[in-house]
Amino acid sequence: MTVVTRFAPSPTGFLHIGGARTALYNWLYAKHTGGKFLLRIEDTDRERSTPEAVDAIFDGLNWLGLTADEEPTFQFARRDRHAEVAQSLLDAGKAYYCYCSPEELTTMREKARAEGRPMKYDGTWRDRGASDAPEGIKPVVRLKSPQEGDAVINDQVQGEVRVGNEQLDDYVILRGDGTPTYMLSVVVDDHDMGVTNVIRGDDHLTNAFRQKALYDALGWDVPTFAHIPLIHGPDGAKLSKRHGALGVDSYRDEMGFLPEAVNNYLLRLGWGHGDDEVISQEQAIEWFDITDVGKGAARFDFAKLTNLNGIYMRQADDKRLVDEISQRVATLIGSDAIDAAQKEILINGMSGLKERAKTLIELAESSAFYVTDGVTSFNEKAQSLIDSAPEGLFAELANSLEALDSWTEENVDASVRETAEKLDLKLGKVAQPLRAVLTGSNSSPGIFDVMIVLGKEQTLKRIRHFGA
C-alpha cells in the first residue's frame, strides 16, 4: 500500500509555525515511505477564508520546499459530494433529521453546564419521524453514532487510545442550510483523496473518534492516525504570538532565517536522531519515522533556532546569500537596488561576513558598508576609536598605502604594520581605528580582508576623510 499523507490548513490567516511543522512531518513521512504528500485547503468557512490567506499558505510551503505531489484540493468546491454522502447515510438509516429548535439546544447546553459535564445531544430525534416535526425548523442531519462498547484508535504517536462510545453524541454532519460540517467534509475528502495516514496536532485527537464513527458507518477504511503534540513556548504555555507563533513569512522577511534552518529546527521539535543537531533534508528523509515522534510537547527556543541558522549561513553558497540580502542592503543604503558591481563586492566579502552573522538581517546590516561611497554612519564605539586615535595616524596610513604598487593582502598587511612601527604603536592601536573608519563599526571581518574587498581607491578615500 502506498502511503498518502495530507496537510489541510484553513485559509483564515497565515501559515503559522505549528502548521509548518505539521506540513513538514507529513511531507517527510511521505518521502520516507516512498508515498505521496497532498495539500487540501479547508475553505468551508466562507466568512473567514480569504484568497490572501490561501496565497500566504502556498507561499510559505513553497519557501520551505514542502510542495505537494498533486494539485491542491479545495474543500468548498466539493460541498455537493459531501452532501451526497450525507444523503447516502440518511437512505441507509445511519443518519437522521433533527428538528430541535435553537431554544431546545440552549436548554441542553445549560443543563450540561449546570451538571459540570460537556454538552451532549440527547438523541431527541434519533428515532422520530418527520411527521412529528414542528413547523418553521430547517432540520440538520445527525450521524447515528454507536452507543455501546468502546472506540479504539491505535495512534502512531499516542499509542492505543480508547473512548467509551457512550461519550459520543449524534453530531451534525449537514447543517440546516444544506452545507456540510467540518467532520463530514474531512472524512469524505480524506477517503476520496486516498489518504492513508492522517498526521495532525493532538488537539484533533477527540475528533478522531467522531470521524472513526463516520468511517465505520460508511464502511470505509479508517486511516492510520498520528496525533503530534503541540508546540509550547519557553514558559511551557501553548505557543502564542508573544512566543513567536507568527506566520512563516515573518521568519523569512522580518527575522531573516533560511528555510533549511527552519525545517531543521522544526524537525527536532518532537523528533530526534541521537545527538545529531544539523540534519540535512536527505538525512531527514532517510531517518524520519512518525512513530519516533515523542508524546510530550516541545518548547520553542528562538536562541536555538538562531544558532542553527548561523550554522546554515556559514555553509551556504556566497552568491546565494548575496541574492538573499541584496534588497535589504539596498534599503539600508537608501537605494532601490544594488548593481552587479556592488553584488560582486559583496560576494568577494561574504566569506568573512557570514562567519559573524546568525541571521540574514544581521548579515545585511554588517555588509552595507562595502557598497557605500564612503562610510555614512558610525556606531558609538567606532566613533570613540576614531576620536581617540593617535594624531597623524590616518595621514600616515594613507601615505603608506598610497605608495603600494600592488594591492594584495600581503602588501597592505606589511604597510599597516610598518605604520604601527613608525609611530611606535602596537598593531591593535592602528588596526582598531582603521577598522572604524573603513566600516563604521568596531567589529568586522579581518581588517586586511576588508581592505582587499574595498579596493585601493575606496580604502584610501575613507582613510583620507579623517587624515586630511
Q: Retrieve residue 364's grid coordinates.
A: 545585511
DSSP letter at 195 equals: -
The two beta strands, 150-155 and 159-164, are antiparallel
What are the Cα distances from residue 357, in Å, to 325, 342, 373?
12, 20, 23
Report CA dihedral (28, 31, 36, 41) to the nearest 10 degrees. 20
Alpha-helix residue ranges (DSSP H) falling in 333-387: 340-353, 360-367, 380-387
Within 10 A of 338 (CB to CB), how many other CB atoms are there? 22
The residue type found at 313 is M
* Alpha carbons 200 and 62: distance in angstroms, whole number: 20
What are the Cα distances from residue 149, in Å, to 98, 146, 166?
24, 8, 8
**Residue 386 · residue 394 · CB < 8 Å:** no
**Residue 363 · residue 326 · CB < 8 Å:** no
Give, to the nearest 10 degrees, the angle between helix 393-402 and helix 456-467. Answer: 150
**Residue 329 · residue 426 · CB < 8 Å:** no
Q: What are phi and psi of 343, to 5 degrees?
A: -60, -40
**Residue 173 · residue 24 · CB < 8 Å:** no
Please indicate whether residue 241 is annotated as part of the active site. Answer: yes
Q: Retrieve residue 161's grid coordinates.
A: 487510545
∠ CA 37-42-43, rounded to 5°: 140
* Alpha carbons 133 and 176: distance in angstroms, whole number: 14
Listed in order, strand segments (DSSP E) in 118-221 are 140-143, 150-155, 159-164, 172-174, 197-201
Would you give the end-to-end CA distance of the chain in angstroms?
79
The residue type found at 61 is L
Instruction: Give the position of cell 505557543.
Output: 239
Give, to the nearest 10 degrees, the angle between helix 393-402 and helix 427-439. Answer: 80
| Active-site option among 241, 295, 381, 461 | 241
**Residue 453 · residue 349 · CB < 8 Å:** yes
Q: Cα 85 to chain center, whole Å? A: 35
Name the burial class of residue 371, with classes exposed (0-12), middle (13-18) and buried (19+) by CB atoms within 10 angstroms of its CB: buried
Active-site residue set: 241
